Structure 1
Amino acid sequence: MIKLTMLSSAEKVKGQGVASAYRELVNLLEERYTNEIDMQINSFRESDITHYHTVDFRFFLSTFFKKKRGVCVGYVHFLPETMEGSLKLPWIARVVFYKYLISFYKRMDEIVVVNPSFIPKLTAYNIPEEKIHYIPNFVSKKTFFPISQAEKNVAREKYGITEDKFTVIGIGQVQHRKGVLDFIEVAKQLPEVQFVWAGGFSFGKITSGYEELKRIYDNPPDNVKFIGIVDRSEMNACINMADIFFMPSYNELFPMAILEAMSSNVPVLLRNLDLYEEILDGYYVKEADNQGFIQAIQRLKTDGNYYNEMLEKAKKGAAYYSEDRLAEIWYSFYQGLYTKE
């Protein structure tokens, strides 16, 4: 039996995708591999494999006790360049943290990335490519799934949205990087459409652009609702009440919210970022700017055939990134490390 230790503080901060990815993996291993994997959370026992989900300093220190840690696996959810536009840090703090982050990754025996576009970026930091493995995110169909129209109506009533209102939802922390300002500008041009943003300021006032975004958050346009950080147990109904999932982010890795929307059978509209091409191409509507977003939403609203076409593509995306497929990939990965050790 593999002795696997998970080290993570992701769930201490609500409303971030890192916590969702961590929880999905832990749940999967607990449900499917209890006879093959002896898993403990945030324990510093002697292990065959230690999987680092967050970059806490105490976790960094633990890497110097190599015999107890076994194979150290780092889960890369962000790099210095992907944090620009997320947090507002003094320049010296930013420099120190970025150096620490790369030092943390270099302490790992193996690295897991959720997007293959990160492999060349990590090698540019002199991390050997043979140590880097691509394993995408996934969501469980037990957590995110389509619900009945009656259940959708209940969710809409909770948030003050009429049953017949065409509704667009965005999910994520309220940050410049997430394209929240573009979300608002698109909403202003489509007053007949209801826009909803689920998410808040998970990192408070150190969020990049906090003052500007907080003013909009507190006084949004009439057709925009900021509903704050939604508990994960309620997020499925929240996504299902929408007709479209819209995320105009400028920089991402592999957002859990996209998979959650696909798994809930909701068409997805995204900015045409290069990093989406390899992992999501063919599963979503892509546009380059606000005018494109506006036209895409109008077409999805008025063209039933096109809407159904994009709905089917979202379903295919959900099937490809299914829990069943990723369960086998993760178990094979851990088993390979265990036997190699």
Structure 2
Amino acid sequence: MKVLLYFEGKHLLSKSGIGRAYDHQRKALEAVDVEYTCELNQTDYDILHINTYGIHSQKVIKQARKNQKKIIYHAHSTEEDFRNSFIGSNQLSSLYKKRLVRLYSSADRLITPTPYSKKLIHSYGIKQPIDVISNGIEIEKYAPNQSKEEKFRAYFGLAADQKVIISVGLYFERKGIIDFIEIAKKFPQYTFIWFGDTPLYSIPSQIRKIVQGNHPSNVIFPGYIKGDILEGAYSGADLFFFPSYEETEGIVVLEALASRQNILVRKIPVYDEWLFHGENCYMGKTNEEFANYLEKIVEGQLPDLTQKGLLSAEARNLKEIGKQLKNVYEEVLSIN
């Protein structure tokens, strides 16, 4: 069995959740010894496992179908998480949905990260079987490390006792960036850092102005940072605050959990079956609730939930994800 893992636009999407999911797929398959290639010029594969939605992706599907290959579409995206992102996304969302339906319907099987995203995709009228498999997480990579935490604090010039709240994501309204700023205004004594980057020309002016300077002085937008500094931030901050309104899973949430970090997220349906308020995370619905929980978490007035959060991440380690992918591949190949 050999798999062609296809990802269109690697340069443009490498910083996104889809880009990290693609990297996780490769590592998951390596962990369970499934042979794969990322090279389109190879034709000796059995299954096309496709992750993207561009024009070239459509051509790759057509060629795979012509060569009688099995096709698995990784359904990372929905109409719901396309909205409130780029300029014009709300106006184009219905057309985007039609394209998703057309592409997803071209596959033999779909994989999506959560029961919530499976429910959404089924609601589009798609008849293909859908398997739920998490995007997974590299547990060891995010284990707390004193050296990384020191690099994080040194990079931002933070005092040892400075309280820090972080978030990670694209500059999208959907990600809750406006609420992040509003909460930061309530706590000038804390430092708020939003890691991530999006081309400013592609986002609405309201969000562009926030990133360019229309935010309180205790907020930092350092752009896209990876490696030791980000990993040190995950474990070395006082809280991971992610007020996103819509996700298909949220890889950054898994990264924070793997980092033994307390997390505060918005109560939205995607978390219904794996995150539980007061057990492995804290959840709020309004900025008033966020402010209340945030202060109590940072000041140590609420129980530490990091150990149970870690267990939730460990259940999604890449070797386990690799086993699940392998099972789906074998099932698809067994169907004539």
TM-score (norm 2): 0.91
Pick one of 53, 56, 67 that aligns with 1:55: 53
* CA drift at 1:222: 1.5
Please say if 1:235 is aligned against 2:230. yes
Distance 1:72 1:232, change over 3 A: farther
Distance (Å, rounded) in 1 between the aligned partners of 2:173 and 2:239: 21
* CA drift at 1:302: 2.1
1:71 equivalent in structure 2: 70
Letter in structure 2 aligned against 1:116? P
* CA drift at 1:12: 1.5
Secondary structure at the aligned position of 1:12 is classed as helix
List 4+ stretches of structure 1 deviating above 6 A.
none
Letter in structure 1 aligned against 2:202? I
Structure 1, residues 20-58: CA drift from partner, whole Å, max 9, x if none?
11101112212431xxx3211041524211001111212
Letter in structure 2 aligned against 1:301? V
Distance (Å, rounded) in 2 between the aligned partners of 1:110 and 1:123: 13
Distance 1:291 1:94, change over 3 A: closer
Distance 1:4 1:151, change over 3 A: closer
Pick one of 312, 317, 323 that aligns with 2:312: 317
Q: Equivalent residues in 2 for 1:124-135 (5 A)?
A: 124-128=123-127, 131-135=129-133
Pick one of 185, 191, 201 that aligns with 1:205: 201
Q: Equivalent residues in 2 for 1:275-294 (5 A)?
A: 275-281=270-276, 282-294=279-291
Please say if 1:3 is aligned against 2:2. yes
Distance (Å, rounded) in 2 between the aligned partners of 1:314 and 1:276: 13
Q: Equivalent residues in 2 for 1:40-119 (5 A)?
A: 40-44=37-41, 45-65=43-63, 66-68=65-67, 70-89=69-88, 94-119=93-118
1:217 equivalent in structure 2: 211
* CA drift at 1:337: 2.0
Distance (Å, rounded) in 1 between the aligned partners of 2:95 and 2:126: 19
Pick one of 154, 173, 178 that aligns with 1:157: 154
2:21 equivalent in structure 1: 21
Distance 1:296 1:93, change over 3 A: closer
* CA drift at 1:132: 0.9
Q: Is the 8 A contact 2:148 2:228 kept in 1?
A: no
* CA drift at 1:262: 0.7
Distance 1:224 1:111, change over 3 A: same
Higher relative contact order, structure no. (Cα contacts within 8 Å, ≥ 6 residues apart): 2
CA RMSD of aligned residues (A): 2.1
TM-score (norm 1): 0.90
Distance 1:69 1:212, change over 3 A: farther
Distance (Å, rounded) in 2 between the aligned partners of 1:280 and 1:136: 13
Distance (Å, rounded) in 1 between the aligned partners of 2:160 and 2:190: 12
Pick one of 248, 251, 256 that aligns with 2:251: 256
More moved, 175-184 vs 231-240 = 231-240
Distance (Å, rounded) in 1 between the aligned partners of 2:299 and 2:101: 48
Q: Is the 8 A contact 2:194 2:221 kept in 1?
A: yes
Structure 1, residues 193-245: CA drift from partner, whole Å, max 9, x if none?
111100121x44222x2x22222212231111111011356531232231111
Could you tell me the percent identity over the aligned residues? 22
For structure 2, the 5+ residue unaligned runs are none
For structure 1, the 5+ residue unaligned runs are none
* CA drift at 1:69: 5.5
1:39 equivalent in structure 2: 36
